[in-house]
Structure 1
Amino acid sequence: MNIKEAIDEALPRGKAITRKSWQEEDQALWVIPTNTPACMILLSHNEPVRQKLIPGWQPESSDLQADDWVTY
């Protein structure tokens, strides 16, 4: 699905979204969509115990055009 469809599905359920290609590349990235000043929060979990929440994530044009978004 595209990013809008993924956000529409995830936001009311309090879920995150991710791209299938990110998971295939073992990037361990998820995006938490919000309607707060934090905007889109990127959750990075690249090491076993290291998690980072990064507010204000801005997608690249390739992210906006992608159709491999899923809810998580």
Structure 2
Amino acid sequence: MEDLWQAFVNVDSAGNITGDYSGKNIVAEDPYDFFFLVDKEVALSLHEYKVHLDGFKPSLVPKQSAE
């Protein structure tokens, strides 16, 4: 089984991540815009990603491929 981390993120109107909280077996005490299950590498480099909406389905994409 894959080692998944929880990632809670807040974003601006362009999808850029403005705040995040990530880890294993965590509980967010504050509200966040989006929640993802990601691998450790992505969780530790969320500043290199942004949220892309495809209809109503959010996904994390690297910033360079989202532009």
TM-score range, shorter chain: under 0.3
Q: Which structure shows the higher strand fraction?
A: 2
Q: Which structure shows the higher helix fraction?
A: 1
Q: TM-score, normalised to structure 2's length?
A: 0.28
Higher relative contact order (CA 8 A, sep 6+): 1
Q: TM-score, normalised to structure 1's length?
A: 0.27
